[in-house]
Amino acid sequence: MNAIPPMWGWRGATGGRAGHVAAGVEYQGTSVQLCGLFPFVAGSGSPTLGIPVGRHMLFGEPVCLDPLLWADAGLVTNPGMFVLGQPGVGKSALVKRLLTGSVAFGRTALIVGDTKPDYTRIVEHLGGQVIRVGRGLDRINPLDSGPLGTALRRLPAAAADQLRLEIRGRRLALLLALCTLVRGTRIHNAEEVLLGRVIDLLSDRLPRDPTIPDVLALLEEGPDELRSAARIGGEADYRARAADLVPTLALLCDGTLRGVFDGPTTTPIDLDAPAVSVDISRIALAGDQLVAAAMLSVWSFGFATVDATAALADAGLAPRRQWLAVMDELWRALRGAPGLVDHADALTRLNRQRGVASLMITHSLDDLEALPTQEDRAKARGFVERSAIVVLAALSARELERVSLITRLSAPERELVASWASPDVLRPGIRHPGRGRYLIKTGEGPGLPVTLTLVDEELRLYDTDAAIRQITRSSFGRDT
């Protein structure tokens, strides 16, 4: 028999011509594991460092994404990530994949303000903590020192003094932000000085964390030591300076926000939980003012936890930890009143030093352009500009033109992302073309077009459309 097989295979039983030759099975492994297979090995053109998020749409290679690991390896300059895309195309599925992978890597996932809620199911599945904030539910004290207060008692004197100043600054910053939100205008300098003195006096007087009702009561009392500390002479001058602050603080206690921020924190964050979600979905329908107040308080509450663990690690009292902080529906907190964007900006600027990867998510740049002042809009655009990783899901051509002014996009990239925006035909059962597809951009280079495929329990845990299907089935009496 001829040792060289003919082109169409040997004649005979189980032999003969092959109408189709299937492609070989592709495997991935390290060079140590696969070195014996050389030369049947191909290198990857996309990073395989981090959490697998899908396959490259052009080459089929696995693509991994991890803001912290990429920053540590020098692939990006900071661990900030901004996700932009139309509703319903899978933004939260990508974030949940990163969340699950981060927990597997030993990090703590922190969802600061879940408005839908999108993350409760996956956090509970991972054995994490869900704090449900709302009237008659869990309550958050905006002036609560939280884990920072616990860390304070364990630190050496010099570090403790520095942390006390940090706690004071956080309390004052958040109180000013809430007052600005309720009033609709910025707090005056003289009022800021007065509130600062109130916080100082309450911190000295009370054996516990002060609350907003405590601030209101002391402000209405107006003791001599408060007027002296605030450099206010007579009673009339003091009452004039406090005239607008008193009703503003009263609204925080007795207005639409009553029962949410007007008492001690009921459920502290569990530092041992692998993931923590603060669910504010019960108040998400109560108006933008309440939602903005809740999100600002929750952000401060969450990042105080991050700072507390960093302070303990710096003092050698606890291991250093890494965090994945998810800030979804970002725009709802920022558009409440002028100047609120400053508070969010201050919270997120030092994320690299604190070992925090921050994921900001929104639907459109129009969300940021809806902020009250031009100054606020410019600062909000800075969130995108400072994020080393920008992920684009399905977007319109008009939206992509605006994005390209901030993040460079080539013409083919714009065409690709725009092609995901809407289906060619509207027919039941047709998968939306943008579902699970993302363009990952870093710097000025070409982006990575990725397709995410959910597997196993992800199909159930990441599903945000279950409620719609359930209503549809009950309405029509059949599966759709």
What average pLDDT does range 432-443 have in this prediction? 87
- Return d(Cα 226, Cα 221) in angstroms, integer: 9
Q: 94 pLDDT exceeds 80?
A: yes
- Return d(Cα 280, Cα 86) in angstroms, integer: 22
Residues in the chain, overall count? 480
Of the pLDDT bands very low, low, confident and very high (cuts 50, 70, 90), residue 39 is low
- CATH label of the domain that carries residue 371: 3.40.50
Evaluate whether residue 345 is within a structural domain.
Answer: yes
Q: Mean pLDDT across the chain, nearest whole number?
A: 82
- Return d(Cα 468, Cα 473) in angstroms, integer: 9
What average pLDDT does range 194-218 have in this prediction? 92
Evaluate whether residue 109 is within a structural domain.
Answer: yes
What pLDDT, on the 0 to 100 scale, is given for residue 37?
64
What average pLDDT does range 237-255 have in this prediction? 85
What average pLDDT does range 17-29 have in this prediction? 65
- Return d(Cα 181, Cα 185) in angstroms, integer: 7
What average pLDDT does range 358-379 have in this prediction? 83
Contact 16, 9 (CB under 8 A): yes
Evaluate whether residue 112 is within a structural domain.
Answer: yes
Q: 464 pLDDT exceeds 80?
A: no
CA angle 253, 256, 261 (to 5 degrees): 45
Nearest Cα to Cα of residue 295 among 274, 281, 275, 310:
281
- Count CB atoms within 10 A of the CB of residue 2: 6
Evaluate whether residue 298 is within a structural domain.
Answer: yes
What average pLDDT does range 183-208 have in this prediction? 89
Could you give the residue ranges of the DSSP H alpha helices within 393-457?
A: 397-403, 411-419
What pLDDT, on the 0 to 100 scale, is given for residue 473?
45
**CB neighbour class for 127 (10 Å; exposed up to 12, middle 13-18, buried from 19):** exposed
Evaluate whether residue 92 is within a structural domain.
Answer: yes
Structural domain boundaries, residue 136 = 78-399
Contact 389, 76 (CB under 8 A): yes
Pairing of strands 356-362, 323-327: parallel
Give the count of domains, the chain: 1
Q: What is the pLDDT of residues 307-364, one digit of tens each?
A: 888 888 888 888 888 999 998 877 777 776 777 787 777 766 656 677 889 898 888 8
Evaluate whether residue 418 is within a structural domain.
Answer: no
Evaluate whether residue 276 is within a structural domain.
Answer: yes
Which amino acid makes up residue 76? Answer: V
What pLDDT, on the 0 to 100 scale, is given for residue 475?
44
Contact 64, 52 (CB under 8 A): yes
Evaluate whether residue 388 is within a structural domain.
Answer: yes
How far, in Å, are 55, 238, 240, 253 from residue 256 at the CA level? 48, 28, 26, 8
What pLDDT, on the 0 to 100 scale, is given for residue 478?
45
